[in-house]
Structure formats: C-alpha cells, structure tokens
C-alpha cells in the first residue's frame, strides 16, 4: 500500500475513538522493525524522524528518503512525520522530501511567539498539502512542555488552535519525555476536557512512560496520536546488549542488530493492538 497522507490515518482513528502509534526512527533498522510490526498487526502506523535524529545523521535527507522508500512498499498504510522540529528550514526540507506531516515545536517560546511562528509554519505546510502538529504546554515553556507538573489549559488550547490553523495538538497531561519507567500519572479528566474544547486530534508525547492500561485509558479519554520512542530504544538496546554479552567475539553487526530489529517489531505489533483496543 502506498505512502498515505497523515490525516488519512489519524482522521479515521479519531472518528472511531481509536489510537494510532507513532514511533521514532533512529536508524534504518527502526523503520524496518516498525513497518514489520505494523504489517503483523495489520494496522496503520506513523514513522517519525526527530530533529535530533536528523542532526545525528548530519542531515534529514538520507534517513528521510530511506523511510519514505520503505513506507511506499509497506503492506499497511504508513505516513512519514517530522517530529519536534524547532527549525523552520528543517520543516521546509521535510516538505520538499515528501514527508506527509510535520510537528513544529515552538513550545520553548513565549506564548505569542509560539503562536506566530506556528501560524507561519502551518501556512507554508498547508500550501503543500502537509498536515501540521504543534505543541502547547505551560505558557512560556519555563520548564518544558512535558515536565510532569505542567498542564495544557483547554481555553488556551482552543485559542491557540483557532489562531494557528494547525491540524493536531500535542498537549501536556502528565507524561514526560525520555522516561525509562512506565509509571507516568496522566490526567484523564484533562484529556477529556481538551477533547471537548478543540475539534482536532490530540497527541500524547512521552508515551514511553505510560503503562499499557493507561495508554488505553488515554485513547478512550480522547487521545489519538500516541508517540513512543524511548520504550522501543530500551528494547532495541537491551537485545543488542544481551547478544553481545552472550557472544562477545561477534563482529558482524547484523548478528545483533537483526535480533534487536525483530524484538522491536514484536513490541510495535503489540502496542498497536493496545492503542487500537484489540
């Protein structure tokens, strides 16, 4: 099935009160694993490449083109998304490469600056038919939008969405990025109020720190796009570590990257089922 616009995946999921897994690609094995997991589950998926990953690879193009090529030959609907881009130039590059959506993150800026920058990016992306996600947490972003104590205000979210014209909103409801444990305490009441306040898909960042049970509850309360990265990286790295510990003489990276890829694929399939309510 060909690469599809992101709203062709997110829109139906939101209408059906289901969740969509959006998983971060750090290297090509991640993309291969995510797509294998999605095909096994028979469910659509979003491949994400962050600005930090683009910097690691010294540019967005190599991994971006590889992810797009893999998506085009997938057996399930796939979209390719630029995650946490703070650079407008990187957003423009993603649009030119053929990414189907971008997440522009100006949450570190004061509210009015965030609003103006996001509105400008959204206008550019919409001219190219590219779906836009933005982020809104604490006004001013003093501690970052996803520190555990920060919450998105529904009335402010409503005004922000109306002023920027974005297609989805990442909100702060208790999760936090890069958590290594799955014990984040989400505010499900706030998720429900945000769902009522804005007529757009809500996005949960920092979902690696959320338990399976609470992921399902978050989707039931109103979340649609669920971003997961660290949790998969833990599984990938753990499998690599185990393989190298068991066979320290191994030099061929395929001997340990292959099993790590398989482990991530299995977890992606499982998580997609959790989010879809299976």
Question: What are the residue numbers of the active site?
Answer: 83
Q: What residue spans of the chain are helical by DSSP H?
A: 6-15, 28-41, 51-56, 61-72, 88-97, 111-127, 154-164, 188-197, 212-221, 230-246, 254-276
Nearest to 126 by CA among 138, 118, 116: 118
Nearest to 5 by CA among 139, 99, 140, 144: 99
CA distance 152 to 145: 8
**190 in Cβ contact with 151 (< 8 Å):** yes
CA distance 208 to 187: 16
Neighbours of 189 (CB within 10 A): 10
Tokens 């299976």 found at: 278
CA geometry: angle 143, 56, 1, nearest 5 deg: 100
**170 in Cβ contact with 103 (< 8 Å):** yes
Q: How far is CA 23 from CA 33, 92, 120, 225, in A?
A: 10, 22, 26, 10
Helix (H, G, I), strand (E, B) or coil at 63: helix
Structure tokens at 64: 């971006």
């Amino acid at each position: 099935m060909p690469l599809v616009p992101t709203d062709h995946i997110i829109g139906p999921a939101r209408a059906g009160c289901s969740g969509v897994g959006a998983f971060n690609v750090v290297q090509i094995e991640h993309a291969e694993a995510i797509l294998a997991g999605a095909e096994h589950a028979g469910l659509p998926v979003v491949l994400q490449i962050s600005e930090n990953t683009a910097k690691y690879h010294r540019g967005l193009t190599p991994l971006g083109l590889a992810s797009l090529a893999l998506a085009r030959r997938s057996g399930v609907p796939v979209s390719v998304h630029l995650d946490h881009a703070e650079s407008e130039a990187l957003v423009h590059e993603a649009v030119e490469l053929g990414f189907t959506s971008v997440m522009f993150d100006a949450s570190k800026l004061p509210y009015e600056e965030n609003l103006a920058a996001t509105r400008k990016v959204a206008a550019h992306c919409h001219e190219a038919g590219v779906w836009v996600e933005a982020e809104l947490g604490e006004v001013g972003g003093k501690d970052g939008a996803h520190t555990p104590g920060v919450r998105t205000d529904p009335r402010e979210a409503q005004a922000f969405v109306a002023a920027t014209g974005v297609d989805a909103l990442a909100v702060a409801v208790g999760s936090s990025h890069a958590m290594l444990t799955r014990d984040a305490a989400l505010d499900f009441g706030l998720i429900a109020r945000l769902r009522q306040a804005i007529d757009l898909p809500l996005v949960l960042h920092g979902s690696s720190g959320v338990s399976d049970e609470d992921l399902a509850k978050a989707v039931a309360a109103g979340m649609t796009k669920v971003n997961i990265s660290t949790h998969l990286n833990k599984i990938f790295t753990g499998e690599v570590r185990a393989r190298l510990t068991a066979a320290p003489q191994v030099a061929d990276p395929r001997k340990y990257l292959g099993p790590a890829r398989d482990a991530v694929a299995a977890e992606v399939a499982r998580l997609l089922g959790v989010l879809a309510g299976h």
